Amino acid sequence: MDNRRSRRSFLTSAAVTGAALFTAPALLAGTGRNRVTVSDADKPFRLKFAPSPGMFRGLCGSDDPVDNIKFIREKGFTALFDNGLPGRPAAEQEKIAAEVQRLGLYMGPWVLYADFSKTSFVLDTKEVRDFLKSKMQEGIEVARRTGFKTALVVPGRYDERLHPDYQRTNVIDNLKYCAEIMEPEGITLVIEPLNTLRDHPGLWLTQMPQAYQVCDAVNSPSVKIVEDMYHQQITEGNLIPNIEACWDHIAAFHVGDNPGRNEPTSGEINYRNIFKYLRSRDYEGVICMEHGRSIKGIEGEKRVIEAYRECDPS
């Protein structure tokens, strides 16, 4: 009888504990960490974390990009990134540039070319060279208009009909061609390794050592790497050692936790340690907040700010 009662008590206790685990804030949602309040967010961050103009639209209460940029600065962020900058009307680009310069913000890379459906850089054809020349000219116009001189390019898809060694040579030669156009303008192209397991199957550039090899061969200050830690956690992990190995070729970072591609503390990546490492290397570049939110609505926007406060190194 005593044994049965003891066993019943154990099962009841276990059921209560299990229910608590399901109803309590989940660790992977970032709510089980040491949280801070948004009121601290007016202090400048130590690293140049860069939200997009619309990341805090609800808290800002406006859709106007200039209003959002002002809000971002008020909350302590010292940088900005805008992937879609080239697609904005010229007048809006100029407006954004004027406000960024007025507030003394840094601008991260904007996307100049990222067509995931086509083979491009891996080919050695006149059509590809003509296209690249035209695309680089578009980038020069944006850079001259805004003063923002870091542009992202994705080398496109892998070609199954062409030997990998030829493709690598073509990518290097095409980037050298682009660098010859961009270097006199002081524009830096950043190439981004992307994951093929979840988001972008079929792309040619997937890993940091591969990107390092390309940049080393191109040997131009106008061709560098943007290290997207979300993609690389999926592709190969080993984040800090790969950052260290590729350090001289890295011009910017993208942030997103995995799984989910949301703010730091929402997944498995230890961004506290990564940001601590970047600060120990006196990293002065931009860290683009290229992710969603683990919580919907305004509370989710607040959580993003809190997460970066928690991870900002001392």
Residues noted as catalytic:
192, 290
Q: How far apart are CA 43 and CA 309, in angstroms?
A: 10
Tally of CA atoms within 13 A in the half-sphere of 117 that contains its CB: 0
Look-up of token digits 């276990």: 14
Burial label for 24, CB within 10 Å (0-12, 13-18, 19+), is exposed
Q: How far apart are CA 195 and CA 205, in angstroms?
A: 9
Beta bridge partners of 150: 188
E-strand stretches of 222-289: 223-228, 250-255, 286-289
Q: Is the separation of the CB atoms in 60 and 305 below 8 Å?
A: no
First to last CA, the chain: 58
In the three-class reduction of DSSP (H, G, I as helix; E, B as strand; rest coil), residue 2 is classed as helix
Closest CA relative to residue 263, chosen from 2, 23, 123, 55: 55
Question: Where does residue 278 fall: left (phi above 0), alpha (psi -120 to 50 degrees), or beta otherwise?
Answer: alpha
Tokens of 261: 């591609």
Beta bridge partners of 310: none
Q: How far is CA 166 from the centre of its chain?
A: 29
Q: Is the separation of the CB atoms in 8 and 274 below 8 Å?
A: no
Look-up of token digits 């892998």: 158
Q: How far apart are CA 52 and CA 217, in angstroms?
A: 32
Packed helices 164-182 and 126-146: angle between N→C axes, nearest 10 degrees: 40
